[in-house]
């Protein structure tokens, strides 16, 4: 609104200068210059219309550009909040143990947040490619399996007590190999979210 008022102010100033110019040309003689004293109304109207069109087009364009930037910023902040959710779950998981309910609820929040993000983007002036959606969905699915699904164990693993993960008293416990695997999956999901932010910012 303030920007529009400024444009109207500048336009008024421009018109005033044009009017003063015509008055000077009409009532005063300027040395070395020959200026017609007649006022061409068609030319004046043409100038006024041109200026007004320029102001209107610039104002509309600036408004759309501003709205587009605001939309992108809102979506990028949403992606950033999902990125933080993933980071928080990663920090808890790679410690070697996490509450099962905490892991399950965090994964559900991530999935719900992504679904909400896609619905928000559908209302914006831009879209995101299906490949990044598919990659995110697959990455979350893999992480869910690795984080909450108890794997089938071989006889050797049972005998050597080399169990990648086990659920005991509501807690999921991971061995070092499983933690490394989780780290890799979390990093991949985080990288995809950063890629999504970059793609949106380039729109």
From residue 42, alpha-carbon distances to 39, 45, 50 in Å are 9, 5, 12
Q: Is the pLDDT of residue 154 over 60?
A: no
Instruction: Please state whether the predicted TM-score (pTM) of the whole model is above 0.85.
Output: no
Nearest to 192 by CA among 180, 200, 181: 200
Q: Is the pLDDT of residue 84 over 90?
A: yes
Q: What is the pLDDT of residue 142?
A: 94
- Could you write out the DSSP letters of every residue in 29-82? --TT-----S--HHHHHHHHHHHHHHHHHHHHHHHHHHHHHHHHHHHHHHHHHH
Q: Where are the domains of the chain?
A: 72-149+161-201
Query: In the Cβ-directed half-sphere of 103, how many Cα atoms lie within 13 Å?
Result: 27
Distance CA 51, CA 118 (A): 42
Average pLDDT taken over every residue of the chain: 79
Distance CA 58, CA 109 (A): 42
100: burial class by Cβ within 10 Å (0-12, 13-18, 19+)? middle
Range in 28-42, 46-60, 91-105 with the lowest mean pLDDT: 28-42
Distance CA 102, CA 118 (A): 24
Q: Is the pLDDT of residue 98 over 80?
A: yes
- Asked if 107 and 144 touch (Cβ cutoff 8 Å), the reply is yes
Q: For the chain, count helices (H), then strands (E).
A: 6, 3
Q: What is the pLDDT of residue 197?
A: 94
In CATH terms, 72-149+161-201 corresponds, of 2.60.40, 3.30.110, 1.20.120, 3.90.320, to 1.20.120
Tokens 């044009």 belong to 18
> Quick one: average pLDDT of 91-102?
93
pLDDT in tens, 166-176: 888 889 989 89
175: burial class by Cβ within 10 Å (0-12, 13-18, 19+)? middle
């Amino acid at each position: 609104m303030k920007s529009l008022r400024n444009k109207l102010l500048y336009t008024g100033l421009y018109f005033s200068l044009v009017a003063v110019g015509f008055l000077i040309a009409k009532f005063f003689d300027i040395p070395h210059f020959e200026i017609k004293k007649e006022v061409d109304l068609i030319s004046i109207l043409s100038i006024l219309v041109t200026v007004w069109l320029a102001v209107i087009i610039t104002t509309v364009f600036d408004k759309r550009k501003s709205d587009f930037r605001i939309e992108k910023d809102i979506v990028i902040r949403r992606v950033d909040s999902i990125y933080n959710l993933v980071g928080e779950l990663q920090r808890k998981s790679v410690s070697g143990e996490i509450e099962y309910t905490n892991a399950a609820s965090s994964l559900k929040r991530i999935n719900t947040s992504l679904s909400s993000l896609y619905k928000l983007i559908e209302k914006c002036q831009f879209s995101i490619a299906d490949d990044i959606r598919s990659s995110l969905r697959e990455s979350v699915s893999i992480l869910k399996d690795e984080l909450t699904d108890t794997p089938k164990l071989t006889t050797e693993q049972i005998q050597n007590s080399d169990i990648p993960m086990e659920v005991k008293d509501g807690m999921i416990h991971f061995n070092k190999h499983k933690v490394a695997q989780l780290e890799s999956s979390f990093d991949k999901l985080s990288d995809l979210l950063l890629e999504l932010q970059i793609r949106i910012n380039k729109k």
